[in-house]
Structure 1
Amino acid sequence: MQTSFRKSVALVDEPSVCVAHFQSLLNQTMDKSPKNLAERLRFARQIYIATWTIFVWCRDIENLESGYRCSALALLYVWDLSHAHYGGQSKAAKGLMDVTNKMIQLSHIIGAAYIEEHIEPFSAIEDGLAVSVPSNSSVDINLKLFDSLGRVAIHGLWLFNSKNIVAIDDESQKAIADELQKCAAILCNMIINNQSLYTPLRDDHAIEITLAGLFLKECDAYDFLSDWVKQITFSSIFSYRSGGSYPCVFREYSELALHPQSTEGYQEDATIGSILYPSLGVWLAICNDKQTFENLADFHKNDMSHSTWQLWLPDEITDENLYQNSDIHGACLTNVDTAGGIEGLLAQINKEIDASTAFNELSSIRFNLWPLVLIACQTYRLPVPPHFWSMSVEESQP
């Protein structure tokens, strides 16, 4: 453990290497299988202190990438240690809850610092964020911009979560509201000034698009959201039909760098399944953009008959596996229907939400810490469960 910790601290300027060693540290900690609450508390404190140390070193070198990624993992692991005892009344349970809350707060601090240093200064400049990426590769730029978009959205959603649990007469309400306004401006400026955010390269960029959509929805920015989703839909359809850099299922960098190719059967293999297009369909339905939805349905019928359009739902073992990504879990909703129009898709989504009760049994949902699910989705590349759309879906129904 000490070796992994030392290496992660020493290599904070190499984020991928630092995170790999930090992940090893977390795995070694959890492999010991805590026997009681006291051990859980000790492990949680060790993770918290290690994360603070990484953050301090990252702050000193003015590069918070490693700190952000390590804090996301640490938060999920600490929650996995604590959720079964969260809210308990014993001394150890209260201590564990205190460390967990401090870990959440540290995650907020690191997220805010990352945005302030690495995103906000470039967000209002045309192509500013794209130029800030230390690479000329369009693949690197596309991947980094969508990752950054998801981080800003998660920070904003945490703010909404905090706003809802802070007493209405608390002085911090205004501070949270001001921070929300600032976060919304940053996210909108990112999209307006960086064309890459209209042209997702990976199909699983549906995750970041949904995170941003959820935040914009909470901000009541429906017009902006509708226009953005519409442009993503048309650009993705056009790229596919014209042989451009259309969204693909590949995740390996070597495959993305060679995408697209013109070999026989390649296009079908690159789009064999999709969470992006059904996610766009749901957002179009939420925004009641019937014309663009019809274009998407036509694309589904005439160009994507080979592709399985699908969504992901938690199941009864998700809560024990989600936060460490320790095993396969969840259920897949296949054959997402666009032929029935907006009403048909909303009805299908509502039916699945009603039938999938495991979502409400997730510990982070029960304790009103739902952003943890979204962090896990972005960190482990899991589609955002449709339950997060449910309020919008209900509001959009005629």
Structure 2
Amino acid sequence: MTTRIITSDGEALAVALDIARQLRPDSAVRDRERRLPHPELALITRSGLWGISVPKAYGGAGVSKVTLAKVIAIIAQADGSLGQIPQNHFYALEVLRVNGTPEQQQRLYAEVLAGRRFGNALAELGTKTANERTTRLSREGDGFRINGRKFYATGALYAQRIPTSVVDDQGVQHLAFVPADSPGLQVIDDWSGFGQRTTGSGSVVFDNVPVSAQDVVPFQSVFDRPTPVGPLAQILHAAIDTGIARAAYEDALHFVRTRSRPWVDSGVDQASDDPLTVKSFGQLAIRLHAAEALLERAGHYLDSARDDSTAETVAAASIAVAEARAISTEIALSAGTTLFELSGSQATLAEHNLDRHWRNARVHTLHDPVRWKYHAIGNYYLNEQNPPRRGTI
């Protein structure tokens, strides 16, 4: 498979818009039938979009975080599940940028530019908190063995490598870039969420899986010192929700213009002239534009933190991203619900599958609670308290 090498931010955005145009027509069918998007992911891979965050020094475009967030939002607008699948791919590449050795960076970045996709095996079920990890990394000779079970492993089903969070014998966390075809590794397609249905966010089981020492990158230290890894993870989530919100908004516009009937008391002939419907669209548009603006603003803060990572710049980026996450959560859910209020009963017919927008938003926005984003934001501005450094703020 020949993979394009994208070399600039402008090219990345142009390619994303072209790919989104091709993905959009069958998005409702893929969701309805839970049709796993292998051909679509191959299309995205060939386009070069999976490699846009590879630094220029290693042959990539090294795009800004503003551009990266926009690309994810564009793809998520076309298909919410496809927008989420590369989230942990880019997250792993950022961990590699921050903590990998030059040899690891050279080798793994080259794989990505050649068309290899990274999934993830980070979260686990049954632990006391969402951040706790029990999957073990045990020394064996010059390498290691991994034992454990993961869930919410978005993208692992489609990946050639599965970056996996593991804990060594000293209780220190690492990220192991495990080849997906390793003996003892099993990816299970058991994701049954009612939204984001084709993300492949199921289980990964490690039964004495071998991993080379050269494929293990320090992970815990990413959060022990100021780095932009945490807010990078979060801005991608905000971009996914913003894209889902834009999709719901655009579908609502189209449905009201072409199919909906005005309410009998409105005194107008077209639903698009109903004054209360017009007002509601105005409210949606303002909040959507605010979400998109805050997403771009957060990207600028994150770019600053990447260029100069201090406690202050990383905290400012984390808060800017938290603001984008808070409003993107709300508008994604609101747009998915208001679509039906404005479009009417016809919009609920299964043939349209318009409920996928709300289902996708509801499932994805549960990644981490928005109520704690407001707490972090308020504490930062009111009490000058920096937020904790981790991937969930």
TM-score, normalising length from structure 1?
0.32
Taking CA–CA contacts closer than 8 Å with sequence separation of 6 or more, which of the two structures ends up with the larger relative contact order? 2
TM-score when normalising by structure 2:
0.32
Relative to its length, the structure with more helix (as a share) is 1
